[in-house]
Structure 1
Amino acid sequence: MRAAITAVLGIFALNGVVFGSWAPRVPALAAQIGAQEGSLGLSLLGASIGMIASALLTGALCARFGARVMVVISAIGGCAVLPVLGMTRTPLQLGLVLFMLGVTVGSLDVAMNIAAVTAIRQSGRAMMPVFHAAFSIGGLVGSLGAAGAASLGLNPLRHLAIAAVFGAVMAVVFARRIPVEDLTARTTDPGPKKSVVTRPVLWLLGFIALCSSVAEGASVDWSAFFGVHQRGIGEAAAALIYAGFSVCMAIARLLGERVENRWGSQRMLIGGSTIGALGLLVAVLVPVPAFTYIGFALAGLGLAYGFPIALEMAGAAGRRADGGGGERELGFVTTIAYSGFLLGPPMIGGIAHVTSLPVALGVAALIAWAMAPLTLLASRARRRERQTHQQAVESVTS
């Protein structure tokens, strides 16, 4: 079991390396293609569209073939696409390449989270935040590499090619040990079957993950750009804003198993949303470079639990009587969450174009706080669903 957990941790880290490598180079890519806030936001839209396009389908494919197959295909594909970003010369080209990267990263994200749910069930540990901590650590490694590449004057093509080779090696090392569910051991649940689309709890969990993805995406996509253009920070130093965000998110997630065992998922989500919103507000309201780092660091702490806990709860909502299941539920919630990555970049870019980037990030802070009331609604919906399901099982049994 330890080897399986290590493999899942490694794949999460790989996904973080991919994100952390290209996101801090957004200022360099923007200069390379001659884009401003509005056109850059539209280019970033490509990644979100690709992620949404692949999320729901990947859940169904994992249910049929297992998560390991999809992890291998998507991880290698993402590493192959990454260096192509450095070859783009127009906003349209950047958007198309980001679409391809989004397809591979989105597929990997769903597959690795399904593998994580399997590992959690087999080990009996509440490790979803810890797995996502590996993503944050990978993001830190990628962002530090980006900062180093920028300080050395490496162009995005050369830097991202190096990152792709590193990621491909990680994929080969870890993928074969990814845990998979026994697809031949499924039993029939006597309870009623519902489409994922008709279950309110999944919509609410999806909206929680969506709010988290908008706020996190705003931090990932715009933190370095904000530091350069709003606070006068150099590109290499601005890349460290995202590094600080990733460090704090990783720390919070590494402590996630203890926090969840002590406080429960509901308190984690409510408290985290409040801290995340406060951090973004500090970054945009205090016009001092030091508080830019502090604000995004607080945002990393607060936003650490939104996405992983929502996915953990989605997997639990789809668990069958035989102990398996949850692939389609997790894919559905992930698809809604990725709508945040779809809406976030053009929304933040559009608001920044009409008003200013600080105002746009202030809107992201309000969206982060919205996770708190949504968590309360999701908890109530889950309790009602369990009661209805139990009554149906008792009726069939009797």
Structure 2
Amino acid sequence: MARRMSVVLIFAFNGATLGSWAPRTPALAEQIDAGPGRFGLALLAGSVGMLLAAAMSGRLVERFGSRAVIVASGLAVCGVLPLLGYAPSLAWFGIALFGLGMTSGALDVAMNMAGVVVERWEGKPIMPLFHAGFSFGALAGSGMAALAAAARWSPTWHFAAAAFAGGVLLMAVVRWLPGHARELKRVTGAATGRGRPARRPALWWLAAIALCSAIAESASSDWSALLLATEQGTGEGLAALAFAGFTLSMALARLAGSWAQARFGPARVLVSGAALAGFGLVAAAAVGIPSVSYAGFVLAGVGLAGCFPIALGLAGEAGKRADGSGGEREVAFVTAIAYTGFLAGPPMIGGIAHLTSLSMSFVAVGVIAAVIAPATVAATRGLAREQPRAADLVR
């Protein structure tokens, strides 16, 4: 239980980091005197940093263990966050955000691998529980950001306080974190007999599940309020409820995700979640009634809740070796592919909206979410050919 809770708290720590700085973007933009265009380009630096870190972190976790990478990257996050808040210029902001993306991206891979290790020890699917920790951490961080903004705290002081609290939490749970190097049996990647992740079709299908989920999740987070405000005529305050409903429903659904995965199997949870998310997003865009849109985003949050964590859990299982170790590179591979969704999703939605309308953009997002269902079928068949035990877990 201590190890499980330590991983939940690390997920919450990473979520709180995002929740702390993202709501303060208006203050940061004013601080560095950047307009929407220049500020939007600078925001890409964080996504690029996360993508690069995810691509490189698998080997670090494999060599040093998830615990060491969690501690190193977590402390680095605490060091970079105040620098982001202090940023006096656009260049400083972009460099600091790139550093935050790199450190939080490495933390993301390591904490997911720690979750895979705990799943193996307990012998039951609990990855959705860990990702629920991330969602609630993000909610807590955004709530504290709202209080800091109301109290007129500068981003510098706010981020410094958040970094101090995060460092204390990290040091409090480090002794229970799984994945110490001494616990890992040194087995080379070539000894697995399954080749590099990029050469395994099943992993590409798992990455497709995570990618579609990431695109749908980022679109719902970034564009839901704008859809209701511009296309359906709600006020700014009421429009924000769409994002709140999506985020809260996802967090609550992830609390029940472990039970659903154990009861019905990952494949059924993924397919039903894809159908629910696709229906909810299309309804939110096509009907054009605010009450239907709120309900649609709640359904999308419930449907997408298990997709990302289940895909990562299956990727870790697909890389499992005979001695119980392994999976680091597979988790990193799927994570890196998924991050391209967070990077490319918002501009893709904006481009479709520019050519047609924001409502049509969300219809396209609903179709992308529905693609998770056939990708799940393909991943199941691929795992059956590559590793029968992983295929049994999917069923």
> Is the pair's TM-score, using the shorter chain for normalization, greater than 0.5?
yes
CA shift, 1:298, in A, is: 2.4
User: 1:273, 1:78 → 2: CA distance?
Assistant: 33
Residues 273-303 of structure 1 deviation map (CA, whole Å, 9 limit, x = unaligned) = 2222233334444555555544333222111
Counting only pairs closer than 5 Å after superposition, residues 1-398 of structure 1 correspond to structure 2 as 2-26=1-25, 29=28, 33-36=33-36, 41-88=40-87, 94-180=93-179, 182-183=182-183, 185-186=185-186, 192-223=193-224, 233-234=235-236, 241-285=242-286, 287=288, 290-386=291-387
CA shift, 1:143, in A, is: 2.3
SS in 2 for 1:185: coil
TM-score, structure 1 as length reference: 0.86
Look up the equivalent residue of 1:130 and give its one-letter code: L
CA shift, 1:312, in A, is: 0.6
User: 2:239, 2:79 → 1: CA distance?
Assistant: 27
User: 1:334, 1:244 → 2: CA distance?
Assistant: 26
CA shift, 1:26, in A, is: 4.2
User: 1:382, 1:299 → 2: CA distance?
Assistant: 27
SS in 2 for 1:322: coil
SS in 2 for 1:381: helix
Label 1:75 to 1:349 Cα distance change in 2 as closer, same or farther (>3 A): farther
SS in 1 for 2:265: helix
Residues 120-150 of structure 1 deviation map (CA, whole Å, 9 limit, x = unaligned) = 1112121111111111111111222233344
Label 1:124 to 1:255 Cα distance change in 2 as closer, same or farther (>3 A): same
Label 1:93 to 1:186 Cα distance change in 2 as closer, same or farther (>3 A): closer
CA shift, 1:347, in A, is: 2.0
The one of the two structures with greater contact order (alpha-carbon pairs below 8 A, sep at least 6) is: 1
Whether the aligned pair in 2 keeps the contact of 1:35 and 1:91 (CA below 8 Å) is no
User: 1:376, 1:206 → 2: CA distance?
Assistant: 13
Whether the aligned pair in 2 keeps the contact of 1:42 and 1:346 (CA below 8 Å) is no
Whether the aligned pair in 2 keeps the contact of 1:45 and 1:346 (CA below 8 Å) is no
Label 1:39 to 1:290 Cα distance change in 2 as closer, same or farther (>3 A): farther
Whether the aligned pair in 1 keeps the contact of 2:50 and 2:106 (CA below 8 Å) is yes
SS in 1 for 2:324: coil
Is there any run of 5+ residues in structure 2 with no aligned partner, and where? none
- The worse-fitting range, judged by mean Cα deviation, of 291-300 and 314-323 is 291-300
User: 2:241, 2:26 → 1: CA distance?
Assistant: 13
SS in 2 for 1:321: coil
Label 1:254 to 1:274 Cα distance change in 2 as closer, same or farther (>3 A): same
Look up the equivalent residue of 2:201 and give its one-letter code: P
Whether the aligned pair in 1 keeps the contact of 2:317 and 2:390 (CA below 8 Å) is no
Work out the percentage of aligned pairs sharing the same amino acid.
47
Label 1:98 to 1:219 Cα distance change in 2 as closer, same or farther (>3 A): farther
User: 1:363, 1:88 → 2: CA distance?
Assistant: 37
Residues 227-269 of structure 1 deviation map (CA, whole Å, 9 limit, x = unaligned) = 666655446x766544432221111111112101111101111
- The worse-fitting range, judged by mean Cα deviation, of 147-156 and 206-215 is 147-156
Whether the aligned pair in 2 keeps the contact of 1:311 and 1:330 (CA below 8 Å) is yes
CA shift, 1:41, in A, is: 4.6
Whether the aligned pair in 2 keeps the contact of 1:68 and 1:115 (CA below 8 Å) is yes
Whether the aligned pair in 2 keeps the contact of 1:228 and 1:234 (CA below 8 Å) is yes
CA shift, 1:158, in A, is: 4.2
Label 1:184 to 1:380 Cα distance change in 2 as closer, same or farther (>3 A): closer
Look up the equivalent residue of 2:165 and give its one-letter code: F
- The worse-fitting range, judged by mean Cα deviation, of 123-132 and 71-80 is 71-80
Whether the aligned pair in 1 keeps the contact of 2:184 and 2:325 (CA below 8 Å) is no
Aligned length: 387
Is there any run of 5+ residues in structure 1 with no aligned partner, and where? 391-398
User: 1:90, 1:359 → 2: CA distance?
Assistant: 37
User: 2:368, 2:109 → 1: CA distance?
Assistant: 23
SS in 2 for 1:72: helix
Whether the aligned pair in 2 keeps the contact of 1:186 and 1:322 (CA below 8 Å) is no
Label 1:331 to 1:23 Cα distance change in 2 as closer, same or farther (>3 A): same
User: 1:388, 1:232 → 2: CA distance?
Assistant: 50
Label 1:157 to 1:347 Cα distance change in 2 as closer, same or farther (>3 A): farther
CA shift, 1:112, in A, is: 0.2
Label 1:54 to 1:232 Cα distance change in 2 as closer, same or farther (>3 A): same
User: 1:388, 1:69 → 2: CA distance?
Assistant: 29
User: 1:163, 1:227 → 2: CA distance?
Assistant: 32
Look up the equivalent residue of 2:347 and give its one-letter code: P
Residues 85-108 of structure 1 deviation map (CA, whole Å, 9 limit, x = unaligned) = 444577665443332211111101
User: 1:34, 1:233 → 2: CA distance?
Assistant: 26
Residues 44-71 of structure 1 deviation map (CA, whole Å, 9 limit, x = unaligned) = 3222211111112211011101111110
